[in-house]
Every structure is written in C-alpha cells, then in structure tokens.
Structure 1
C-alpha cells in the first residue's frame, strides 16, 4: 500500500473519493485529514464518557460490551473532520481569552517538559520547569468508582463555575430540538424550504437539551469526585452562520444527573459481576445499539 493510505474498510470509500478532486492540492489535503483521522486520538476506551451518557438512546448493555471490547474507530468524512476541527478552534479561542483575563483554572500542559499540572489560577510559568510554553488541557472529571471519565472545557474559580463552549449550527438544532427549528422553517416560492436564521438566533434562549444534561453531569462529577466547589455552569454558544455569540448560566441541579449516575453504577456493578445488564431502551428485549454487540446466549 502507498505511504499514507487507508486500509480497506468503511473509510476507504471517502479516501478514494478525495483522489478524484479536480484540484490536486485540495484532494491531497482531504486525503491527509482522512489518514490523520485513522490514528489514535488519545480518547480513553475504558471509561463511560458523559457525552454519550446524556444521549436519549444511551444503552447500558451496549456500554457494557464496549467497555469489555472497545470498538475500532468508525469511518469518517472530510466534512465531519472539518466540523470537528472548527469546534476545536472555537474552544481554543474562548479558552485563550479566559487565560488572558487570568480567569482560567484547570490542567496545563507544558510544551517544554511535556508534563501536565493543575493550577487553580492561570499560571504564567510551568510549575515544574518554569517554562512559559503552556497549553490549556481543560478540566479532568473522573469518577473511577462509577467508571466515568471526561473533561469540561473550562473552570473559573472566582465565579464558582465550569465552562462549556459550543458551536451552534442547523444540524445540531435539527438533531436535538427539531420542534424549535420547525418554528422558523419557511416555504419560499422557487427556493423551497428555508430557515429564518435571524429570528431563530434571536429566540435561542437556553442550552440545547443534551448540552444541559451534560453540563449538570459535569457539575456532579466536579463536586462529588474532584473536590471543586462549583455551583453553576456557563455555556458560550457561537452561531456558525453569523459568528454571533451568546452565553447562558445554569445553576446546579443534582436531580438531572440521577438517571445517568444510576446507569453508570449499574454498568460498573455488571462489570464486576461479569454479566451484562439488561437493555434499558427496550426492556425485556434489545435495541439497535446493543443488538449487534450482544453475544449468543447472553442473559
């Protein structure tokens, strides 16, 4: 196989499609990104991730199987990777601003000694080698007793809050809150269906449902397992079509996280017992998430 290629599999089609680009350089960039996406990204496979736990179709049984036998990285596309990178860029921008304001605490990675250290205040130098070459490494939120591991986008000690940074596009609204989006969809003669972006952004006044649940779960982990005194979470939203921004601050409500915590405890107990839990999406049966992972004769 040529150097930098992709092994046979679902990702090969996207890679081959990139080779058809009329612009050689553009095609080369696409292939580079697709190859890069196949490499390990450091995402832990031995923990439950809050971003998965808050989804409506989070299946306890499927999560159990994935922890026992982590699946390989799935296929991707250049568009998807481009979206992910734009999200990373937005995170870095807001984190840099908070760092410049001396309002950011959390983990910091030193580019010189390649070590990570925690600081409640925004440091100017590495605690270990005094280098100024520091990169924000966000806020670890781990609960080993519940097999949960994750990170929040930021921590502002003087405000007693965590930070979540989100980009908002039509796709995310259509997926998470289609009823809200439907109010701004218009039929235009000769143009089909369009969305009134101005009115929609004007009326966007709270975090999307999954982001709300994820933030509350982060607060639960911070308070109960990381000894961080936080009682709220602030969301920074950037609207992709216009680059306008809004913020929302939500107070801690432990009851919102109870279903996810109970599910994590159930999965952790099942791992200790060596027996998969029942499917919580389709009690007495299986759902699309666990059906393919289920083993023959599983209870």
Structure 2
C-alpha cells in the first residue's frame, strides 16, 4: 500500500491534532477526511471558473497563469476537519433537494451511469441509461454543465427546470457565511446576553429575504452562459436555501439581467487573447506590485 503523506504547515498541524484525539476512532475519521481533502481535487485548471470570476478580487493575471500552465498555485490548502464537515453538509443538502426534484420529474441535466461510466443529457428523470440501458437505480444526477468554450469558461449549475425556465441553485446559510459576506446583517441581529453576544436566530432567518451577494453574481453569469452558449431558455434562477441552525427553508427568485455579465465576459475574452499570444496582462487588483493571487504563481516559477 502506498504511504500516506500530509505535507507540513497548517494541514500537518490539523492532522497531528487529529492523531491526539482521546477517542481513537474519532481521530481516525478526522485524519481520513483531512487526507482526502489534501489530495489533488481534480478540479479543472484549464478553464475560468464562474465562482472565481464573480469575486471582487478576481485577478486577471493569476487567471492567465493558471490557464497557461494548467496548474493550481503552489500554496498549500488551508483546511480543517470542521471546514470539511461544512462542505460535506453542503453536498448532502444538494443531494436531498435534487432527489426530491428527480422524484417529481422536474430536473433536467446530465446523468451519470455507474455501470458504463457514461454521461448523457435528459430533460426529466430518465428510466434507463441512454448509453448501456442500465436501469434508473444505476443513475445519479450530474448537474448542469455550463461552458463557453471560446472563452474557456466552465461551470456547473445545481439544477435546471425546463418547466420553470429556470436554473436552480441550492444553498445553505450559516453564521459563518453571514460573518464573511454580510457582517453588518449578522451584527444587526446579535443581542447581548449573560454569556456574551448571541445572534437572534429566529429574527435573523425571518428577515433574510434575498440570496447572498456572491450567489447572485455567480448565478447571473450562469444564466448568461446558459442562454448564449448552452441554448437553455432560462430567464430566472430559483434559489433553495436551508438554514443550518434550524433546518428551516426558503426560496428566492432572481431574474436574469444580462448587463451584469458583460464586463466579466470582456475580461475573459481579454485573458484568453493574452494566453494565445503569451503576453501576460497586468494585475487588475494591484498594478504596481501584484496581488496575493498572482504572486503565488510568480513564487513557483
């Protein structure tokens, strides 16, 4: 059996802490999760990811380097067992909503067959694999690929409902995501108690009336890709939200605004042109000394 290696730094600290757990099985589970998290992710490095493009600190120079080299930056991934547990909960939430939509026959997209390892598109719940004929129990939903090949953009939406002419995005809302994206909103619903400031979860969730900004930006770009490159007639995205603290749910609708994606599409086209001519663009975050994202690539030259 090949030896398992966890590299130094923050990841090694987390791994060693797991090894010291009082209950051996619990520690072994943590080590298993951390080992898996630190393996190569398999995420494509030859495309621009919409989730990165919509961030305010998206660096065009870093994107150029990654497309040209088709490698991730050299920085070691900082992760913890808690963070990986959060990611896994998000995956489970996706699976739950997608299963319900599949049972309703309201989910279109790619499907994967465990028998032949093939993928095929279907506009509703398929009765069998289109490639090998395997029964539906062998199929899993593989979501909605959204690609703009000339611009080297590639992403995946959580779902597509032809009956609603809508993409579907499945989200979980936790205090951590609010603390990162809307700290002022979280502070508004934080009340003093004998044990210190505590968020009023009932009021916070009651007054949560729109998706988080990053999710809105990303889905606008998804809708642009769906309309212009995938020939999917969509005019809205339906958000399905789970509130982690209480397991309550809400839905929101965001209508398509094509003007939002224009600058991102122009930037992608410029980056692809730079890759074709092998002329690096300037860092758009810090044109003088560069930003952390592009400097990571400079360090690994």
Instruction: Provide the TM-score with structure 2 as the length reference.
Output: 0.93
Where does residue 97 of structure 2 map in the other structure?
94
Where does residue 12 of structure 2 map in the other structure?
12
The number of aligned residues is 296
Q: Distance in 2 between matches of 1:222 and 1:98?
A: 20
Question: Which has the higher mean CA deviation after the structures are superposed, 173-182 or 151-160?
Answer: 173-182
Where does residue 117 of structure 1 map in the other structure?
120
User: Once the 2 structures are TM-superposed, how far is the Cα of residue 105 of structure 1 from its aligned partner?
Assistant: 0.4
User: Once the 2 structures are TM-superposed, how far is the Cα of residue 294 of structure 1 from its aligned partner?
Assistant: 3.6
Q: Distance in 2 between matches of 1:295 and 1:81?
A: 28
User: Once the 2 structures are TM-superposed, how far is the Cα of residue 192 of structure 1 from its aligned partner?
Assistant: 1.5
Where does residue 130 of structure 1 map in the other structure?
133
Contact 2:102 2:124 in 1 (8 A): no
Structure 1 residue ranges without an equivalent (≥5): none
TM-aligned CA distance change 1:199 to 1:214, over 3 Å: same
SS of match in other structure, 1:293: helix
Question: Which has the higher mean CA deviation after the structures are superposed, 127-136 or 274-283?
Answer: 274-283
Q: Distance in 2 between matches of 1:124 and 1:35?
A: 37
Q: Distance in 1 between matches of 2:92 and 2:287?
A: 41
After TM superposition, list the pairs within 5 Å mapping 1:1-299 onto structure 2. 3-8=3-8, 10-69=10-69, 70-71=71-72, 74-132=77-135, 133-188=138-193, 190-294=194-298
Contact 2:11 2:79 in 1 (8 A): yes
User: Once the 2 structures are TM-superposed, how far is the Cα of residue 7 of structure 1 from its aligned partner?
Assistant: 3.9
Q: Distance in 2 between matches of 1:247 and 1:34?
A: 33
Give CA deviations for 1:27-68 in whole Å, capped at 9, x if unaligned.
000111111112333311111111111111111112212223
Give CA deviations for 1:212-236 in whole Å, capped at 9, x if unaligned.
0001000000111111111111010
Q: Distance in 2 between matches of 1:43 and 1:174?
A: 27
C-alpha root-mean-square deviation of aligned residues, in Å?
2.0
Q: Distance in 2 between matches of 1:46 and 1:131?
A: 32
Q: Which structure 1 residue ranges, 4+ long, deviate > 3 Å from structure 2? A: 1-5, 7-10
User: Once the 2 structures are TM-superposed, how far is the Cα of residue 295 of structure 1 from its aligned partner?
Assistant: 7.1
TM-aligned CA distance change 1:207 to 1:270, over 3 Å: same
Q: Distance in 2 between matches of 1:151 and 1:258?
A: 19
Give CA deviations for 1:160-209 in whole Å, capped at 9, x if unaligned.
01000000001111111122222112222x32211111111111101100
Q: Distance in 2 between matches of 1:229 and 1:242?
A: 35
